[in-house]
Amino acid sequence: MKPPSGQGIRLAYLLLNVASLCLPTPLWKDRDSLMQEEKAHQTGGNLVLSRQEQQLSTKLVNLKKQEIATAMTTGQFPPSMHFFRAKGLIDQSMVFSILKRMPKGAVLHLHDYAILSVDWLVYNATYLPDCYICFTHTGTVRFRFSKPHPPHPVPAQCSQWVLLETYRKQLHNVTEFDSGLLRNLTLVTDAPELAYPSQTFIWKRFEEVFLIASGLISYAPVFKAYFYQGLLELYEDNIQYVEIRAILPPVGDEDEGHSLWDLKDALTIPYSLGVNLPYFFHAGETDWQGTSVDNNVLDALLLNTSRIGHGLALIKHPVAKSLSLKRDIPVEVCPISNQVLLLVADLRSHPAASLMAEGHPIVISPDDPPIFGAKGVSYDFYEVFMAIGGMNADLRTLKQLALNSIKYSAMPPDEKAKAKEVWQKKWDQFVADLSDSFLREL
């Protein structure tokens, strides 16, 4: 090959210099600096950890990397799998066992008739005296407490009321019957794709579960015990504060309902009376774009919402997203709920991944954990830490999310300060205990 002439070399050098002048200046920045700049933007990116926290963070991220490496080998990465199939794998995760121990602060998006594992309802509430059952034509049930016998007529699509105590005495296999009641109170199934072929189908089943549970929970003695046991279960998941949403039937599938804008006249009545009523709207729990419901994220902000419930549509609305960031309005992210209700199949693709990368304020919540076969919020934290937050999510991410849950709660400032103080003591103990356990393993 003929070597280039001196003129050719000068020409190549000149072209290279011209090209470099045309390149945007940021491309000449150091790659590591750019990566660090990105990390600083993400959720928790600006938190400064103590030396002990840094060491713990490194250990935790290493465990995460090991589990992901194993998942790549086996082809089973829990956040990319339907939760009903992934739960068994998550339960075996070392990362998950750590997240269960972590003080998570507050849960800010939880529905009143879905806070406690359904086992308690079946094995306690349905065994109380005066509990009646009727069987619907669609294969589900209804409950009612009554003394004497419930009055007629029975609910639509329902058979006659039968005293459950009497009915159980006639059965050959009570255990199998009770297992059937458990299935009536959750969406859990071995084949979710076959059982729930569409969003419309699963939403109808989802709302049916609430109707079934309401016949038990609305009975005053059960109501009192249910909430006590529910709060206890949340406490055992290291949650110290909870805000519970009361269900107002037929409030449910956002895609099937009216937009917030349709309700603006009613929702602005408090302002006309001089009352600053705080709102906490569900908004943007949809995959559709350009619909009236899709615009709920903007309408929620116009109606002065304190937080945005679910908010999957927010990333499709740059003006609304900018406004929520400017006003410091967080999104209540409920990853398992979004996946089970067929809004996001692979949680690595959850819209909150974009929000977390930008450091947009978010809080993590479970929505309706018992209906999904979960408890508390640890499973949702696992999905966020392992997938939605990406490989860069570390202890700072988890710490920020816990702090956010207190910051964006409805507590008044003095109660927030006390709650944060309590949380900080729990957090410091968690870090110390976990650091000691890691040292013992070395």
- Residues labelled catalytic: 285, 310
DSSP annotation of 148 reads S
The answer to whether 360 touches 390, Cβ cutoff 8 Å, is: no
Sign of CA dihedral 64, 190, 376, 247: positive
The answer to whether 285 touches 254, Cβ cutoff 8 Å, is: yes
The answer to whether 237 touches 402, Cβ cutoff 8 Å, is: no
The answer to whether 240 touches 377, Cβ cutoff 8 Å, is: no
Residue with tokens 């999510």: 393
Amino acid identity of 271? Answer: Y
> How many angstroms separate the CA atoms of 118 and 184, rounded?
10
3-state secondary structure of 265: helix
> How many angstroms separate the CA atoms of 329 and 306, rounded?
6
Amino acid identity of 408? Answer: Y
Count of beta carbons in the 10 Å neighbourhood of residue 215: 21
Count of beta carbons in the 10 Å neighbourhood of residue 102: 23
Count of beta carbons in the 10 Å neighbourhood of residue 437: 12
